[in-house]
């Protein structure tokens, strides 16, 4: 065999070895395309016949897929949070914030820190063990029939109204034995300041309801439209009975979550401002990681309807307002003890007449 032939054979074999890594592994792009086609059909996305937007959404969809893979990689147990495709998976992070969250919620919350109704709770090691002993291992107010059904705010940024009215409904049910739906739309239309679907905050709403003695009327009398409209309260209040806020709190338990647990156990569901930026692809399980708890990151409002200290990962039970398709039939779970997602930064409770 000539030496030239030997050299050629050696080169060909060598090139084959160098080329192997390029061909290893599945074709991610092909897999992603198939997933996206199914995703667009499942959620009936309006851009299915708009090629430019379709391509843009596919790029954002792929970023969500890679993010989902990373987040699921942090799972430490079967109870840990898990992530997958949601109706929000084709949005950029900025779009997700603008469509579902309240970017300026933390700045709104700052003004309450100087108010007389605001209190910052801190750890008290002398009484802590006694409080923890007196707190039941699990409280789920849903089991007691005092938590209303999951609702969807859709593109209306009124999470602040949904969570506040949810608390009022729970307080009324605990006091009177009947779970009665009250009007979220009344808050959207009538709260001073023209916040509406553009955003408001829980503490300001409760303060207005208390000082103005405005009655919260039934949902049946003032139904939900999820859009800003003129306030109809003057036309309705004379002939419609309602419930009033007689007292409320707007506190920080960021350094005293044991006191927050005691409040949930003894008083009932509360409203909370949170950071929901990492919830875009949440499907279920207990959130334990990568959810900033700083006050400046608050951007959403929810209702805490219980907790479970007996679970493998002790957690809060959180009622959201993104419909039953989100998370665990509209609910999610957040680990207790490290102010994850800012869950304890701004907590509001209420009393009704």
Residue with tokens 């919350």: 109
Q: Which two tokens stand for residue 338?
A: 């490290």
| Mean pLDDT along residues 1-17 | 42
Per-residue burial over 193-202, b if 16 or more Cβ lie within 10 Å, else e, is eebbbebbbb
Residue 8 confidence (pLDDT) above 50: no
Q: Which two tokens stand for residue 120?
A: 């910052």
pLDDT of residue 133: 54
SS3 173: helix
Residue 3 confidence (pLDDT) above 70: no
Residue 320 annotated among the catalytic residues of the structure: yes
User: Is the Cα dihedral 318, 85, 80, 329 positive or negative?
Assistant: positive
Residue 339 annotated among the catalytic residues of the structure: no
Instruction: Please give the distance of CA 256 from its chain centroid, rounded to a whole number.
Output: 21
Q: Which two tokens stand for residue 159?
A: 């999470």
Catalytic annotation, pick one of 112, 121, 300, 315 = 300
Q: Which two tokens stand for residue 123?
A: 């750890």
| Tens-digit pLDDT profile for residues 96-154 | 999 999 888 877 777 777 676 777 787 764 444 444 558 999 999 999 999 999 999 99
Catalytic annotation, pick one of 275, 299, 320, 345 = 320
**With pLDDT > 90 as the criterion, what percentage of the chain qualifies?**
77
CA distances in angstroms from 224 to 189, 220, 238, 286, 301, listed in the order given: 10, 9, 20, 31, 18
Confidence label for 34 from pLDDT (cuts 50, 70 and 90) = very high
SS3 270: strand
pLDDT of residue 119: 73
Catalytic annotation, pick one of 156, 159, 250, 341 = 159
Task: Give yes or no for a contact between 285 and 82, defined as CB atoms under 8 angstroms apart.
Answer: yes
CA distances in angstroms from 12 to 7, 21, 111, listed in the order given: 9, 16, 72
Residue 341 annotated among the catalytic residues of the structure: no
Determine the Cα angle at 191 with ends 187 and 193, to 5°: 145
pLDDT of residue 238: 66
211 φ/ψ angles, rounded to the nearest 5 degrees = -70, -35
| Tens-digit pLDDT profile for residues 296-340 | 999 999 999 999 999 999 999 999 999 999 999 999 999 999 999
Using the 8-state DSSP alphabet, how is residue 243 labeled? Answer: B
| Mean pLDDT along residues 25-34 | 79
Q: Which two tokens stand for residue 313?
A: 């990962």
Give residues with Cβ within 8 angstroms of 150, minimum separation 6: 319, 320, 321, 323, 324, 329, 330, 331
CA distances in angstroms from 21 to 9, 17, 344, listed in the order given: 20, 8, 49
| Mean pLDDT along residues 63-88 | 96
Confidence label for 241 from pLDDT (cuts 50, 70 and 90) = confident
SS3 279: helix
**With pLDDT > 70 as the criterion, what percentage of the chain qualifies?**
88
| Mean pLDDT along residues 275-286 | 98
Least confident span in 67-76, 113-122, 198-207, 264-273? 113-122
The more confidently predicted of residues 272 and 132 is: 272
Whole-number Å distance between alpha carbons of 283 and 285: 7
Helix axes 51-72, 28-42, angle to 10 degrees: 110
| Tens-digit pLDDT profile for residues 170-225 | 999 999 999 999 999 999 999 998 789 998 899 999 999 999 999 999 999 999 99
pLDDT of residue 19: 31
- Cite the beta strand spans of the chain per DSSP E: 82-83, 118-120, 138-140, 245-252, 270-274, 282-284, 286-287, 300-308, 315-319, 331-335, 346-352
pLDDT of residue 17: 35
Determine the Cα angle at 319 with ends 313 and 325, to 5°: 100
Of 244, 161, 249, the residue nearest 205 (C-alpha): 161
Residue 89 confidence (pLDDT) above 80: yes
């Amino acid at each position: 065999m000539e030496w030239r032939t030997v050299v050629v054979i050696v080169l060909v074999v060598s090139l084959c070895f160098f080329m192997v890594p390029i061909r290893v592994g599945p074709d991610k792009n092909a897999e992603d395309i198939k997933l996206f086609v199914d995703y667009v059909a499942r959620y009936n996305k309006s851009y299915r016949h708009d090629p430019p937007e379709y391509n843009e959404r596919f790029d954002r969809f792929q970023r969500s897929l890679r993010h989902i893979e990373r987040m699921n990689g942090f799972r430490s147990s079967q109870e840990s949070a898990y992530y997958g495709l949601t109706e929000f998976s084709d949005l950029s992070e900025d779009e997700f914030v603008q469509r579902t969250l309240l970017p300026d919620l933390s700045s709104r919350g700052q003004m309450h820190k100087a108010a007389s109704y605001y209190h910052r709770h801190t750890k008290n090691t002398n009484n802590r063990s006694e409080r923890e002993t007196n707190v039941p291992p699990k409280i789920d107010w849903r089991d007691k029939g005092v938590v209303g059904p999951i609702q969807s705010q859709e593109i209306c940024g009124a999470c602040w109204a949904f969570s506040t009215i949810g608390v009022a409904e729970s307080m009324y049910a605990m006091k009177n034995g009947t779970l009665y739906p009250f009007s979220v739309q009344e808050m959207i239309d009538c709260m001073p300041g023209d916040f509406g679907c553009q955003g408001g905050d829980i503490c300001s709403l409760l303060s207005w309801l208390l000082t103005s003695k405005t009655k919260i009327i039934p949902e049946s009398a003032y139904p939900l439209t999820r859009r800003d409209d003129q306030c109809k309260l003057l036309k309705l209040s004379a002939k419609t009975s309602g419930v009033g806020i007689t007292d409320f709190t707007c506190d920080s338990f960021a350094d005293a979550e044991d006191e927050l647990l005691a409040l949930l156990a003894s008083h009932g569901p509360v409203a909370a401002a949170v950071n929901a930026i990492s919830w875009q692809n949440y499907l279920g399980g207990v959130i334990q990681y990568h959810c900033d708890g700083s006050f400046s990151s608050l951007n959403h409002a929810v209702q805490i309807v219980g907790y479970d200290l007996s679970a493998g990962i002790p957690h809060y039970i959180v009622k959201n307002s993104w419909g039953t398709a989100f998370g665990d039939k509209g609910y999610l779970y957040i680990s207790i003890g490290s102010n994850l997602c800012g869950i304890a930064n701004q907590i509001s409770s209420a009393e009704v007449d």
